[in-house]
Amino acid sequence: MPRKVLEIEQKIEYLSILDENANVDKELEPDIPAEQLKSMYKYMLLGRRCDERMLKMQRQGRLGTFPQSAGHEAISIGSAINLHQDDWHVPAYRELAGMLYRGWPIENIILYWNGFEEGTAPPEHVNDLPICVPLATQLPHAVGIGMAMNYKKEKNVVMTYFGDGASSEGDCHEALNFASVFKAPVVFVCLNNQYAISVPLSRQMSCETVAQRAIAYNMPGIRVDGNDVLAVYVATKEAVERARAGYGPSLIEGLTYRLTPHTTADDPKKYRSEAETDEWAKKEPLIRFAKYLQNKGVMTAEDLEKMEAEVDNMVKTAVAKAEEMAKSEELLNPFTIIDHVYADMPQFLQEQRDELAELVKREAARKEKKNAKSETGARS
């Protein structure tokens, strides 16, 4: 039999609306109300300032190691702004701005990166999953939620996030495949910051884009300027509308750059040049969006200064609250590592709990005896 050519005509678009100098393509510019534009900028700014404050805290020994989000705010907000409250938001670990927009208290984020799992409790009024550090494991969860919504005939959408490094994980490909086969209403958002920790994109894959993988899974795919919040907004709005209408998943690749180390335990100077970092710093999302808002007459320089002050106060208040909460008996209760694992505690775990209770009791008695001895010495 002769060879046959299978006609696959799908192409991948690249979308950019607002360039690094804040020049906007008027034909592509979305019609976003002024108040919504202000809200988008506010949460981008809040995400950035939280990130910066947490870095200072980590360097001071007041916070554990954490992955920074600086430079990813446009992808996070430009996408999350398109979700309804009862849609699902399934983050990885650089979606700080979007999580804050969805209602996560700043103090919860601080507590989480200080080792308190209580910080992962989502706000009651939204359908969100917690931060997910293991690569790509949240993607099958997102697809499962989407498949369940189809089964229940709900018209909601799931939006989930992952990095370029995570795009090489088996969980990512399994999730894309299942979503496509079962038409799950999932919007996959890849934050392509071009390094899987220290491994550059060129060593991760030989294809030109992450977005073109959508062709193999028979879903729409698009690459956008991930530092352009308008382009992210337009691409995700189209994908959300498509998913809500019952047409299944989409894959969006946001091309961006980490302005910081991978985590606070990383040294990017070992694998990235200073010239490369400086070049990308010129393209960062916050400055260009602020210029756009001023050029459009939505905000003045004075408005931007007032918002800076407002955000600074929000961060300071949250830091103080988080550090006070970290001292509470509720969060320092050692039994929480055991009490919430099983609905019915198995015998082996009950035995460990009893042993821990005995240790706590002995430690309390030791401290009481030591304090009594100190008081006696002070009186004599």
What are the structure tokens assigned to 58, written together?
């980590």
Structural Rg of the chain based on CA atoms: 24
Provide the CB-side half-sphere exposure for 11 (13 A, CA): 3
Are 166 and 204 a contacting pair, CB within 8 Å?
A: no
What are the structure tokens assigned to 64, written together?
């554990």
Using CB atoms within 10 A of its CB, is residue 307 exposed (0-12), middle (13-18) or buried (19+)?
middle
Using DSSP bridges, classify how beta strands 186-192 and 195-196 pair: parallel, antiparallel or unpaired: unpaired
Helix H, strand E, coil C: the string for the chain is CCCCCCCCCCCCEEECCECCCCCECCCCCCCCCHHHHHHHHHHHHHHHHHHHHHHHHHHCCCCCCCCCCCCCHHHHHHHHCCCCCCCEEECCCCCHHHHHHCCCCHHHHHHHCCCCHHHHCCCCCCEECCCCCCCCCHHHHHHHHHHHHHHCCCCCCEEEEEECCHHHCHHHHHHHHHHHHCCCCEEEEEEECCEECCEEHHHCCCCCCCCCHHHHCCCCEEEEECCCHHHHHHHHHHHHHHHHCCCCCEEEEEECCCCCCCCCCCCHHHCCCHHHHHHHHCCCHHHHHHHHHHHCCCCCHHHHHHHHHHHHHHHHHHHHHHHHHCCCHHHHCCCHHHHCCCCCCCHHHHHHHHHHHHHHHHHHHHHHHHHHHHHHHHHC
Cite the active site residues: 258, 262, 271
